[in-house]
Amino acid sequence: MIFNELTIHTTTAGSEVVSGILFNEGITCFSVDDPQDLADLLENQYVPVDYIEEGLLREDGDVLVRVYLAQNEQGKIQQEGILAGIERIKAENHDWMGSLEVEFSVNDEKDWENNWKQYFHPLPIGESFLVVPSWEKAEDENRVVLEIDPASSFGTGRHETTYLCLEAVEKLSPENKDILDMGCGSGILGIGAALLGAKHIDAVDIDMVASRIAEENAEKNNVADKMDVFCGNVLSDKDFWDSFANKKYQIILANIVADIISDMLPLFDACLDKDGRLVCSGIISPRKEFVLESLERNGFEVVELKEKNDWVAIICKKK
């Protein structure tokens, strides 16, 4: 199958806006090539210098958002929607979003299946984890290897919020604890907890594809026996809400978005053990105060707050 490749030139901050345009067109599989991410990887002792292809070490500094669209009617409609969205934000003249130049090319499916992999590399997180793409077989006697299939775009460890949450999982010592991973995506957080000895994980996502991928990733990491994956919406389904409210968890992981976290706090209050910890992330810095106020209003006390590149993770407990 032949695909149209669109490459959008932007900045780190602008890539979030461009990603939103893609999501609005129903596109969840795309790559974000940020030169700063690659520079950070090269400084890390776990990634050899020759592991990253020379062509990726660009000097222009642009963040490149790449998306592949099928050459059919749906792809045509999506492309028109993307271009209209780009023109709309261009008209707002935000310098911080970069040029927003769009490049076009045509790719064969076979080439696409191989080319996108160059943007994913083994990534050490915290003191414990080495997140490895599923086609690599990395070993590290000093780290727990967490194998994730990034093709899903639901969580690979590269996003700041996932990174911060995995650090929090490590810090909270999940050994022999029951854990709720709300908005699990690829399952990376729950799987990480399982690899560090968690007793059991309930992983929940509203998206059927994400739920399936989380199950597959649990199998890849040999922790499927510790992890139950559920698909549903606790905010619209009372029975689904109650199925978790009637349990007790020592750790709750909520890497979602600020408004949804706020709406779910009564559920978390019901099912968090009295000495447990709640990890909230997926929060961009301008929404930090909103979440902090919601936590206070719902009877939670902040234990630790960490920020990384304008993203926030909050560890809290019941008052």
pLDDT tens for the chain, 319 residues long, are 678 899 999 998 888 889 888 888 878 777 888 776 655 544 554 443 333 444 444 445 788 999 988 888 888 999 999 999 999 999 988 888 899 999 999 876 555 555 556 656 677 888 888 888 777 777 767 899 888 875 544 455 567 888 899 999 999 999 999 999 999 988 999 999 999 999 999 999 987 878 888 999 999 999 999 999 999 999 999 999 999 999 999 999 999 888 899 999 999 999 999 999 999 998 888 889 999 999 999 999 999 999 988 889 999 999 9
CATH number reported for the structural domain that contains residue 232 in this entry = 3.40.50.150
Question: Hey, what long-range contacts does 134-137 have (CB within 8 A, 24 or more apart)?
Answer: 134/220
What's the pLDDT at 117? 60
SS3 call for 2: strand
**The last residue of a domain, from among 99, 119, 139:** 119
What's the pLDDT at 82? 95
Residues 232, 158 share a domain? yes
Residues 273, 201 share a domain? yes
Residues 192, 108 share a domain? no
Residues 212, 81 share a domain? no
What's the pLDDT at 299? 97
Please check whether residue 124 lies inside any domain of the structure. no
Q: CB neighbours (10 Å) of residue 255?
A: 26
CATH number reported for the structural domain that contains residue 29 in this entry = 3.30.70.260
Residue 290: half-sphere exposure toward Cβ, Cα within 13 Å: 14
Which residues is 3 bridged to in the sheet? 70, 107
What's the pLDDT at 55? 45
What's the pLDDT at 47? 42
Q: CB neighbours (10 Å) of residue 120?
A: 21
Please check whether residue 297 lies inside any domain of the structure. yes
Phi and psi at 281, nearest 5°, equal -150, -170
pTM: 0.67
Residues 306, 165 share a domain? yes
Phi and psi at 133, nearest 5°, equal -65, 150
Residue with tokens 């639901």: 154
**The last residue of a domain, from among 97, 119, 141:** 119
What's the pLDDT at 147? 87
Give me the DSSP letters along 284-316: EGGGHHHHHHHHHHTTEEEEEEEEETTEEEEEE
Please check whether residue 14 lies inside any domain of the structure. yes
Sign of the Cα torsion 79, 80, 81, 85 reads positive
- Count of domains for the chain: 2
194: CB partners within 8 A, 6+ apart: 201, 218, 221, 223, 226, 227
Residues 193, 46 share a domain? no
Residues 168, 68 share a domain? no
What's the pLDDT at 148? 83
Give the closest residue to 187 by CA, choosing from 132, 236, 148, 135.
148
What's the pLDDT at 199? 98
Mark out the alpha helices in 67-207 (DSSP H runs): 73-90, 109-115, 160-171, 188-195
Whole domain around residue 94: which residue ranges? 2-119
Please check whether residue 74 lies inside any domain of the structure. yes
